[in-house]
């Protein structure tokens, strides 16, 4: 028989101190310095939460589909001309609405997924623009150029004066009649300019044949340097004066860009650009080329404005437009960055500053990640609730994951 | 949720604290108690693991896993006074898993390591020559035993647990424990007898 007591007593009672110490170090590292392992339930809840959060983030940063042009609330397209025989309210698809008094006449001059521009010819209109909408609204109130995002204001043409009253939010106003240049008006502020050109019955009758004579657009801020009195709002746009305009310009003002470009051609755009000393005309040349699908031909007039008229209040807008062309149409991020930078340095209207900065970041990230990230960080700090915050974060994320 | 900070009272002699008190202090997050608990049971747990596995790498892994699991599950312990048996049960369970894994790997030819901590290496300096010779024989018998029989034999004859305790530790029924111990003991006796007769 085996003596089991002898065997049991033969084994060492103690392990070597070195081994004991070594094992303790491993156990200590695994247990004591860390939090207790989460339960399976806890892990499941956390994992579910993470998945939901990721899905939410994805939904938020996913590029929004092109919302298309602004429509009427019922889904019908907006007519190019709105003339009201009696007071009426027009509701739009983005929640904005427009109240017009009897005898008011408006022209829709631009309508894209990013911007809407009206030119008000006469009467009285109350614009209630939905805050947070996707479009920048620009309204030419008989010579007062209003740029807004979400606000409410009244534009009223009385006698020989135009009055603009801001009911909610803030607007940026500009125009020849606006003394001391472009300015910001907030809720409760009003501005009156005049005397203005009065649309007499005779004028209107004359204009019935060719309505485009009354059409204006935002690029028609009169900066032609003709020393006409700043208070003389619409002298240069008097209907009878338009008779001397070339056909391409009339077509362009009417929004017929295809016909306007057909009349001009790329060569003529370039030659007119070289000759012109008129900022309005240069903008029109650029618009005609740009809106007709010729972004390269649109660059010349804009660069001319920036080069020849850097002191002009609209040089910044020209540079901004140039940046968009390079970024969105010509895929030239380096030039786009320079253009947006220039636009900002020239004093872009406040309503466009944030957009320009965001687009500058977008362009910069395409070729210089380091600088792009720096710009993005600055943007995120400057605009904690910025309109482009989510997009900027998404661009940064995409840059990191590349 | 962050646990509140528990003031730690140092004790000069860990043996003056019984197992139940040690467990209570560990439940309260006393780091000193955790270390004291380790030092109190590490020799026993390492010894049992060594008898069962005889491979230094596996032995240390089992000891570390045993204490890690014990610290993790300490809040759920219901009988603090039986903490030693609870700990041995964890070690045995871990050793079984480790043994089966290594056996499978060796069967598949994925593990060519040798058991470097066989029983005759585990003897103390005080052991007699006769005892050393018998342990060397036991080593060779262990090579032929399955892990269940080996466990029951080690717990009963080397660690000195009663049959009921062996059943509780291994999770086998008492009858199964008895049968396995009988089988193991028979194998050992037969081997010793064969060796003594030449």
What are the pLDDT digits (tens) for A153-182? 888 877 667 888 888 888 888 776 777 677
The residue in chain A having the minimum alpha-carbon distance to the alpha carbon of residue B160 is A8
For residue B135, the chain A residues in CB contact (below 8 A) are 7, 10-11
Least confident of A97-101, A291-295, B103-107: A291-295
- Residue B9 counted as domain residue: no
Residue at which a domain ends, from B117, B142, B170 = B117
Contacts of A352 (CB under 8 A, 6+ apart): A136, A147, A317, A320, A343
pLDDT given for residue A202 in this prediction: 35
Q: Are the Cβ atoms of A22 and B71 closer than 8 angstroms? A: no
For residue A27, the chain B residues in CB contact (below 8 A) are 38, 64, 67-68, 71
Q: Are the Cβ atoms of B134 and A7 closer than 8 angstroms? A: yes
For residue B169, CA distances in Å to A254, B37, B68, B118, B162 come to: 95, 19, 18, 23, 10
**What does the pLDDT look like over A271-320, one tens digit per residue?**
888 888 888 889 888 888 887 778 888 999 999 999 988 888 889 989 99
Give me the CATH number covering residue B37.
1.10.1740.10
Contacts of A280 (CB under 8 A, 6+ apart): A219, A220, A221, A222, A223, A224
| CB distance A146 to A164 below 8 Å | yes
B24 & B46 share domain: yes
For residue A1, the chain B residues in CB contact (below 8 A) are 189, 192
pLDDT given for residue A154 in this prediction: 84
What is the average per-residue pLDDT within A117-134? 84
The first and second tokens of residue B197, run together, are 């007769």
Band (pLDDT 50/70/90 cuts) for residue B15 is low
pLDDT beyond 80 at A82 = yes
pLDDT given for residue A38 in this prediction: 55
B113 & B135 share domain: no
Q: Which domains does chain A have, with CATH numbers?
A: 81-207 (2.60.120.1440), 255-401 (1.25.40.10)
The residue in chain B having the minimum alpha-carbon distance to the alpha carbon of residue A35 is B2
Task: Measure CB to CB from residue B157 to each of A8, A10, A20 and give the nearest one.
Answer: A8
Tell me the Cα Rg of chain A.
32
What's the sign of the alpha-carbon dihedral B83, B89, B93, B96? Answer: positive
Q: Which residue has the tokens 């003596």?
A: A3
- Residue B2 counted as domain residue: no
- Residue B149 counted as domain residue: yes
Give me the CATH number covering residue B147.
1.10.10.10
Which ipTM score applies to this complex?
0.86
pLDDT beyond 50 at A208 = no
pLDDT given for residue A63 in this prediction: 56
- Residue B52 counted as domain residue: yes
Band (pLDDT 50/70/90 cuts) for residue B26 is confident
Residue at which a domain ends, from B88, B117, B146 = B117
B104 & B181 share domain: no
Domain that holds residue B72: 15-117
Band (pLDDT 50/70/90 cuts) for residue A252 is confident
B136 & B107 share domain: no
Task: Measure CB to CB from residue A15 to each of B43, B51, B130 and give the nearest one.
Answer: B43
Q: How far is A298 from B111, CA to CA, in rounded Å?
A: 75
Q: Could you count the other beta carbons within 10 Å of the beta carbon of residue A202?
A: 10
Contacts of A151 (CB under 8 A, 6+ apart): A127, A129, A131, A166, A167, A168, A169, A170, A171, A187
Band (pLDDT 50/70/90 cuts) for residue A90 is confident
Band (pLDDT 50/70/90 cuts) for residue B69 is very high
B67 & B105 share domain: yes
Q: Are the Cβ atoms of A11 and B72 closer than 8 angstroms? A: no
Is B182 in the A-facing interface, judged by CB distances under 8 Å?
no
| CB distance B31 to A32 below 8 Å | yes
pTM for this prediction? 0.41
- 3-state SS string for chain A: CCCHHHHHHHECCCCCHHHHHHHHHHHHHHHCCCCCCCCHHHHHHHHHHHHHHHHHHHHHHCCCCCCCCCEECCCCECCCEEECCCCEEEEECCCCEEEECCCCEEEEEEECCCEEEEEEEECEEEEECCCCCCCEEEEEECCEEEEECCCEEEEEEECCEEEEEEEECEEEEECCCCCCCCEEEECCCEEEECCCCCCCHHHHHHHCCCHHHHCCCHHHCCCCCCCCCCCCCCHHHCHHHHHHCCHHHHHHHCCCHHHHHHHHHHHHHHHHHHHCCCHHHHHHHHHHHHHCCCHHHHHHHHHHHHHHCCCCCCHHHHHHHHHHHHHHHCCCHHHHHHHHHHHHHHCCCHHHHHHHHHHHHHHHHCCCHHHHHHHHHHHHHHCCCCCCHHHHHHHHHHHHHC
Distance from CA of B91 to the nearest CA of A (A): 14
| CB distance B163 to B177 below 8 Å | yes
Residue at which a domain ends, from B97, B117, B137 = B117
**What does the pLDDT look like over A3-56, one tens digit per residue?**
788 888 888 888 888 888 889 888 887 775 544 555 666 678 888 888 888 888
Task: Measure CB to CB from residue B71 to each of A12, A23, A31 and give the nearest one.
Answer: A31
Query: Could you give the number of structural domains in chain B?
Result: 2
- Residue B4 counted as domain residue: no
DSSP letter (8 states) at residue B161: -
Q: Are the Cβ atoms of B127 and A15 closer than 8 angstroms? A: no
Q: Which residue has the tokens 């996913």?
A: A62
Partners of residue A163 on adjacent β-strands: A156, A192
The residue among A258 and B140 whose pLDDT is bigger is B140
pLDDT given for residue A40 in this prediction: 66
| Closest C-alpha among A116, A167, A86 to residue A155 | A167
The residue among A173 and A375 whose pLDDT is bigger is A375
B112 & B134 share domain: no
């Amino acid at each position: 028989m085996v003596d089991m007591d002898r065997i049991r007593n033969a084994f060492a009672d103690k392990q070597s101190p070195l081994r004991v110490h070594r094992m303790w170090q491993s156990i200590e590292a695994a247990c004591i310095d860390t939090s207790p392992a989460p339960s399976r339930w806890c892990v499941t809840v956390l994992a579910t939460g993470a998945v939901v959060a990721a899905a939410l983030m994805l939904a938020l940063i996913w590029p929004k589909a092109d919302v298309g042009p602004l429509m009427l609330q019922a889904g019908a397209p907006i007519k190019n001309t709105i003339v009201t025989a009696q007071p009426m309210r027009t509701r739009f698809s983005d929640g904005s609405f427009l109240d017009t008094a009897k005898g008011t006449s408006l022209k829709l001059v631009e309508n894209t997924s990013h911007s809407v521009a009206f030119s008000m010819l006469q009467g009285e209109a109350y614009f209630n623009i939905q805050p947070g909408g996707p479009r920048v609204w620009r309204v030419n109130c008989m010579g007062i150029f209003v740029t807004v995002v979400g606000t409410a204001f009244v534009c009223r043409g009385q006698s020989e004066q135009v009055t603009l009253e801001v009911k909610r939010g803030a607007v940026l106003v500009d125009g020849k009649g606006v003394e001391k240049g472009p300015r910001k008006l907030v809720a409760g502020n009003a501005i009156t300019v005049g005397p203005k050109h009065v649309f007499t019955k005779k004028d209107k009758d004359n204009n019935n044949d060719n309505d485009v004579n009354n059409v204006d657009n935002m690029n028609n801020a009169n900066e032609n340097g003709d020393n006409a009195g700043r208070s003389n709002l619409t002298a240069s746009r008097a209907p009878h004066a338009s008779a001397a305009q070339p056909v391409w310009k009339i077509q362009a003002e009417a929004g017929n860009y295809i016909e306007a470009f057909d009349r001009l051609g790329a060569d003529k755009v370039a030659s007119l650009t070289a000759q012109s000393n008129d900022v309005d005309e240069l903008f029109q040349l650029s618009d005609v080329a740009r809106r007709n699908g010729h972004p390269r031909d649109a660059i010349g007039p804009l660069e001319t404005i920036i080069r020849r008229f850097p002191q002009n209040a609209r040089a910044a807008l020209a540079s901004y437009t140039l940046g968009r062309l390079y970024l969105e149409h010509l895929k030239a991020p380096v030039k786009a960055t320079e253009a947006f930078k220039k636009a900002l340095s020239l004093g872009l209207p406040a309503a466009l500053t944030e957009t320009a900065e965001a687009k500058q970041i977008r362009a910069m990230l395409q070729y210089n990640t380091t600088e792009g990230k720096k710009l993005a960080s600055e943007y995120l700090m400057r605009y904690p609730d910025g309109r482009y915050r989510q997009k900027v974060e998404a661009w940064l994320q995409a840059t990191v994951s590349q | 949720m962050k646990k509140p900070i528990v003031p730690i009272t140092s004790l000069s002699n860990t043996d003056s604290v019984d197992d139940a008190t040690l467990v209570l202090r560990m439940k309260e997050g006393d780091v000193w108690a955790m270390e004291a608990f380790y030092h109190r049971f590490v020799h026993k747990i390492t010894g049992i693991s060594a008898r069962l596995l005889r491979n230094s790498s596996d032995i240390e892994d089992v000891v570390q896993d045993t204490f890690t699991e014990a610290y993790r599950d300490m809040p759920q312990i219901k009988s603090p006074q039986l903490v030693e048996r609870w700990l041995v049960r964890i070690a045995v369970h871990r050793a079984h898993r480790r043994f089966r894994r290594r056996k499978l790997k060796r069967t598949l030819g994925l593990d060519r390591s040798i058991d470097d901590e066989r029983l005759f290496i585990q003897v103390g300096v005080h052991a007699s020559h006769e005892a050393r010779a018998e342990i060397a024989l036991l080593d060779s018998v262990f090579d032929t035993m399955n892990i269940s029989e080996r466990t029951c034999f080690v717990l009963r004859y080397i660690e000195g647990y009663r049959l009921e305790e062996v059943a509780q530790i291994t999770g086998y029924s008492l009858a199964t424990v008895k049968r396995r111990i009988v089988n193991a003991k028979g194998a050992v006796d037969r081997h010793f007898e064969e060796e003594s007769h030449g």
